Structure 1
Amino acid sequence: MKRLIPLTLAATLGIAGTAWAQSYPSQEAEEVQAVDYHYGMSLDVQKVIHITDNSDKVGVVPATIIFLDSNGKLHKVNYLELGRYDSGD
Protein backbone atom coordinates (compact mmCIF):
# COMPACT_ATOMS: atom_id res chain seq x y z
CA MET A 1 0.00 0.00 0.00
CA LYS A 2 2.82 2.42 0.86
CA ARG A 3 4.32 1.92 -2.61
CA LEU A 4 1.01 2.55 -4.34
CA ILE A 5 0.60 6.10 -2.99
CA PRO A 6 3.79 7.56 -4.56
CA LEU A 7 3.01 5.85 -7.88
CA THR A 8 -0.53 7.22 -7.89
CA LEU A 9 0.70 10.70 -7.00
CA ALA A 10 3.37 10.64 -9.72
CA ALA A 11 0.87 9.46 -12.33
CA THR A 12 -1.67 12.11 -11.33
CA LEU A 13 0.86 14.95 -11.42
CA GLY A 14 2.26 13.72 -14.72
CA ILE A 15 -1.17 13.68 -16.35
CA ALA A 16 -2.09 17.10 -14.96
CA GLY A 17 1.17 18.62 -16.19
CA THR A 18 0.73 17.09 -19.64
CA ALA A 19 -2.83 18.39 -19.92
CA TRP A 20 -1.77 21.92 -18.94
CA ALA A 21 1.17 21.91 -21.35
CA GLN A 22 -1.06 20.75 -24.20
CA SER A 23 -3.61 23.49 -23.50
CA TYR A 24 -0.96 26.22 -23.71
CA PRO A 25 -0.97 28.00 -27.09
CA SER A 26 1.79 26.19 -29.00
CA GLN A 27 1.88 28.88 -31.70
CA GLU A 28 2.97 31.46 -29.11
CA ALA A 29 5.73 29.11 -27.92
CA GLU A 30 6.91 28.60 -31.51
CA GLU A 31 7.21 32.37 -32.04
CA VAL A 32 9.60 32.81 -29.11
CA GLN A 33 13.26 33.12 -30.13
CA ALA A 34 15.27 30.24 -28.64
CA VAL A 35 18.57 30.99 -26.91
CA ASP A 36 21.38 28.53 -26.24
CA TYR A 37 22.12 27.84 -22.59
CA HIS A 38 25.61 28.60 -21.33
CA TYR A 39 27.11 27.59 -18.01
CA GLY A 40 26.17 29.99 -15.23
CA MET A 41 23.26 31.49 -17.18
CA SER A 42 20.59 32.80 -14.79
CA LEU A 43 17.14 31.31 -15.40
CA ASP A 44 14.00 32.66 -13.75
CA VAL A 45 11.70 29.65 -14.14
CA GLN A 46 8.27 30.16 -12.60
CA LYS A 47 6.32 27.53 -14.58
CA VAL A 48 7.57 24.91 -17.03
CA ILE A 49 5.50 24.66 -20.21
CA HIS A 50 7.44 21.97 -22.07
CA ILE A 51 10.66 19.97 -21.80
CA THR A 52 11.98 17.79 -24.62
CA ASP A 53 11.43 14.09 -23.86
CA ASN A 54 14.74 12.34 -24.51
CA SER A 55 13.92 9.22 -22.51
CA ASP A 56 14.42 7.08 -25.61
CA LYS A 57 17.79 8.65 -26.54
CA VAL A 58 21.30 7.53 -25.61
CA GLY A 59 24.30 9.76 -24.89
CA VAL A 60 24.44 13.55 -25.01
CA VAL A 61 21.44 14.92 -26.91
CA PRO A 62 19.94 18.35 -27.61
CA ALA A 63 16.90 19.42 -25.60
CA THR A 64 14.67 22.46 -25.22
CA ILE A 65 12.80 23.88 -22.25
CA ILE A 66 9.94 26.35 -22.67
CA PHE A 67 8.93 28.19 -19.52
CA LEU A 68 7.31 31.28 -18.05
CA ASP A 69 9.39 33.58 -15.85
CA SER A 70 8.10 35.31 -12.71
CA ASN A 71 6.79 38.18 -14.86
CA GLY A 72 4.79 35.85 -17.11
CA LYS A 73 7.17 36.20 -20.07
CA LEU A 74 7.69 33.10 -22.22
CA HIS A 75 11.24 31.80 -22.78
CA LYS A 76 12.74 28.98 -24.85
CA VAL A 77 16.23 27.67 -24.01
CA ASN A 78 18.20 25.02 -25.91
CA TYR A 79 20.68 22.90 -23.96
CA LEU A 80 22.43 19.52 -23.99
CA GLU A 81 21.45 16.70 -21.66
CA LEU A 82 22.54 13.16 -21.04
CA GLY A 83 20.07 10.60 -22.35
CA ARG A 84 19.62 7.23 -20.71
CA TYR A 85 22.62 4.96 -20.24
CA ASP A 86 22.98 2.13 -22.74
CA SER A 87 25.08 -0.81 -21.57
CA GLY A 88 25.10 -2.25 -25.09
CA ASP A 89 23.06 -5.34 -24.19
Structure 2
Amino acid sequence: MNIRALIAAVSLLSLAGFAGLAQADDLQPTPYRYGMPLEIKKVLSLTEPSTPYCEVVTAQMVYIDKAGQTRDISYNKLSQACTSAD
Protein backbone atom coordinates (compact mmCIF):
# COMPACT_ATOMS: atom_id res chain seq x y z
CA MET A 1 0.00 0.00 0.00
CA ASN A 2 2.80 2.45 0.84
CA ILE A 3 4.59 1.69 -2.42
CA ARG A 4 1.46 2.52 -4.43
CA ALA A 5 1.05 5.80 -2.56
CA LEU A 6 4.71 6.64 -3.15
CA ILE A 7 4.44 5.88 -6.88
CA ALA A 8 1.29 7.99 -7.14
CA ALA A 9 2.96 10.90 -5.33
CA VAL A 10 6.07 10.73 -7.53
CA SER A 11 3.89 10.62 -10.65
CA LEU A 12 1.91 13.67 -9.57
CA LEU A 13 5.06 15.61 -8.72
CA SER A 14 6.54 14.75 -12.13
CA LEU A 15 3.43 16.00 -13.90
CA ALA A 16 3.44 19.18 -11.83
CA GLY A 17 7.07 19.76 -12.79
CA PHE A 18 6.31 19.42 -16.49
CA ALA A 19 3.35 21.77 -16.15
CA GLY A 20 5.63 24.32 -14.49
CA LEU A 21 8.11 24.09 -17.35
CA ALA A 22 5.34 24.61 -19.88
CA GLN A 23 4.16 27.71 -18.03
CA ALA A 24 7.70 29.10 -17.89
CA ASP A 25 7.86 29.02 -21.70
CA ASP A 26 4.67 31.10 -21.90
CA LEU A 27 6.09 33.99 -19.86
CA GLN A 28 6.70 37.25 -21.70
CA PRO A 29 10.18 38.78 -21.60
CA THR A 30 10.71 41.78 -19.34
CA PRO A 31 10.68 45.00 -21.40
CA TYR A 32 14.00 46.85 -21.17
CA ARG A 33 13.87 50.35 -19.68
CA TYR A 34 16.64 52.89 -20.18
CA GLY A 35 19.14 52.60 -17.34
CA MET A 36 17.95 49.15 -16.24
CA PRO A 37 20.93 47.27 -14.70
CA LEU A 38 21.39 43.95 -16.52
CA GLU A 39 24.57 42.47 -14.94
CA ILE A 40 25.07 40.09 -17.89
CA LYS A 41 27.46 37.19 -17.37
CA LYS A 42 26.69 35.27 -20.59
CA VAL A 43 24.33 35.91 -23.51
CA LEU A 44 22.42 32.76 -24.51
CA SER A 45 20.45 34.07 -27.49
CA LEU A 46 19.56 37.19 -29.46
CA THR A 47 16.45 37.03 -31.65
CA GLU A 48 14.38 39.47 -33.67
CA PRO A 49 11.57 39.17 -36.20
CA SER A 50 12.66 38.99 -39.82
CA THR A 51 11.54 41.88 -42.02
CA PRO A 52 12.64 43.15 -45.43
CA TYR A 53 12.11 46.76 -44.29
CA CYS A 54 14.34 49.10 -42.33
CA GLU A 55 12.14 49.66 -39.29
CA VAL A 56 12.08 49.45 -35.50
CA VAL A 57 11.47 45.89 -34.27
CA THR A 58 11.15 44.31 -30.84
CA ALA A 59 14.12 42.01 -30.26
CA GLN A 60 14.66 39.54 -27.43
CA MET A 61 17.76 38.62 -25.43
CA VAL A 62 18.09 35.63 -23.12
CA TYR A 63 21.09 35.77 -20.80
CA ILE A 64 22.55 34.50 -17.54
CA ASP A 65 23.11 37.22 -14.95
CA LYS A 66 25.98 37.38 -12.45
CA ALA A 67 23.84 35.55 -9.87
CA GLY A 68 23.43 32.60 -12.27
CA GLN A 69 19.74 33.27 -13.04
CA THR A 70 18.46 33.04 -16.62
CA ARG A 71 16.80 36.31 -17.66
CA ASP A 72 14.73 37.23 -20.71
CA ILE A 73 14.33 40.83 -21.86
CA SER A 74 12.84 42.53 -24.90
CA TYR A 75 14.07 45.79 -26.42
CA ASN A 76 13.51 47.96 -29.48
CA LYS A 77 16.14 48.20 -32.22
CA LEU A 78 16.50 48.84 -35.92
CA SER A 79 15.96 45.69 -37.99
CA GLN A 80 18.80 43.89 -39.74
CA ALA A 81 17.46 45.25 -43.05
CA CYS A 82 18.84 48.66 -42.00
CA THR A 83 22.40 47.33 -41.98
CA SER A 84 22.20 45.20 -45.15
CA ALA A 85 24.02 46.47 -48.21
CA ASP A 86 21.83 46.67 -51.32
Separation (CA, whole Å) in 2 of partners of 1:48 and 1:39: 19
Q: Which has the larger radius of gyration?
A: 2
1:85 corresponds to which of 71, 82, 85: 82
Bigger Cα displacement from structure 2, 31-40 vs 51-60: 51-60
**Gaps spanning 5+ residues in structure 1: where?**
1-26
Q: When the two structures are superposed, what TM-score results if normalisation uses the length of structure 1? A: 0.54
Instruction: Indicate the residue corresponding to 2:4 in structure 1.
Output: none
RMSD between superposed Cα atoms in Å: 2.8
Q: 1:85 to 1:33 in 2, by over 3 A?
A: closer
Separation (CA, whole Å) in 1 of partners of 2:45 and 2:73: 11
> What pairs up with 1:8-87 in 2 under 5 angstroms?
30=25, 34-53=29-48, 56-57=51-52, 58-83=54-79, 84-85=81-82
Q: When the two structures are superposed, what TM-score results if normalisation uses the length of structure 2? A: 0.56
Count residues in correspondence: 61
Shift of 1:53: 4.3
The alignment-based identity, stated in percent, is: 32
**Gaps spanning 5+ residues in structure 2: where?**
1-21
Shift of 1:30: 2.7
Q: Which has the higher strand share?
A: 2
Contact 2:48 2:60 in 1 (8 A): no
List 4+ stretches of structure 1 deviating above 6 A: none
